[in-house]
Chain A
Amino acid sequence: AQTVTQSQPEMSVQEAETVTLSCTYDTSESDYYLFWYKQPPSRQMILVIRQEAYKQQNATENRFSVNFQKAAKSFSLKISDSQLGDAAMYFCAYRTQGGSEKLVFGKGTKLTVNP
């Protein structure tokens, strides 16, 4: 079974600085997707960025980028120019290609942004 591990329960960053959230996963499959979701206090799950395993190029969405290391099964999220609105829980998730395509989530990292 696939597992997702986020080793940092909490992280903090100064406003305008850069922070990196770690995620590792375990799978025997070769084709899959990886996601980072943001969950603010409102509880809404917001998709931040996604990466397709067959693509070598790291995904980027504005201030958010990933470092995808397929061989190491690592998928870290970098947030540049951090803003107060970035404060939230961040969840890394894995999804198979095929089958029920359910998401497997890590336990999350709570990000605090200090003004």
Chain B
Amino acid sequence: NAGVMQNPRHLVRRRGQEARLRCSPVKGHSHVYWYRQLPEEGLKFMVYLQKENIIDESGMPKERFSAEFPKEGPSILRIQQVVRGDSAAYFCASSPSRGRTEAFFGQGTRLTVV
């Protein structure tokens, strides 16, 4: 699972700025999941993407948050006009297909909003 690369590991943003979190899945994986972990909490699902498509965004806040997984390049989770409550660890996981396969996690990006 070390193949899922997230960057940056740590990101500090002032309130009102934009945050861009990147996730490069394991080579050959076309399914990407984003999760958010608030302090002292478990991970909560945000969005599920396949190449160029958002499949399930039921966990995404309705405003300020967006995600993409282009044909080429990493998946991006974008948070506009960040607020203190966005401070959390954001994890990306990838899998090669649906079905009886497990997802592999990256090490996460810790976003701190000051």
Residue B108 is within 8 A (CB to CB) of chain A in the complex: yes
User: Is A62 interfacial (CB 8 A cutoff)?
Assistant: no
Check A19 for interface membership: any CB of B closer than 8 A.
Answer: no
Residues of B within 8 A of A99 (CB): 56
Smallest Cβ-Cβ distance to A101: which chain B residue: B98
| Contact status B102-A43, CB under 8 Å | no
The stretch among B11-19, B20-28, B36-44, B70-78 that forms the contact with chain A is B36-44
Residue of A nearest to B98 (CB): A101
Give how many A residues have a beta carbon under 8 Å from the other chain's beta carbons: 24
Q: A45-B93, A100-B56, A102-B33 are in contact. List 20 more A-B contacts (CB 8 A).
A: A4-B42, A35-B102, A43-B89, A44-B105, A46-B1, A47-B102, A91-B43, A97-B100, A99-B56, A100-B55, A103-B33, A103-B35, A103-B45, A103-B93, A103-B103, A105-B35, A106-B42, A107-B40, A107-B41, A107-B42
Number of interface residues of B (CB under 8 A): 25
CB distance from B67 to the nearest CB of A (A): 13
Q: Which residues of A line the B interface, CB within 8 A?
A: 4, 33, 35, 42-47, 50, 52, 91, 93, 97, 99-108
Say yes or no for B69: interface residue by CB 8 A criterion: no
Is B43's CB under 8 angstroms from A103's CB?
yes
Chain A to chain B contacts (Cβ below 8 Å), 24 pairs: A35-B102, A42-B107, A43-B89, A43-B107, A43-B108, A44-B107, A45-B43, A45-B91, A45-B105, A45-B108, A46-B1, A52-B100, A91-B42, A97-B100, A99-B56, A102-B33, A102-B48, A102-B56, A102-B59, A104-B45, A105-B42, A105-B43, A106-B42, A108-B41
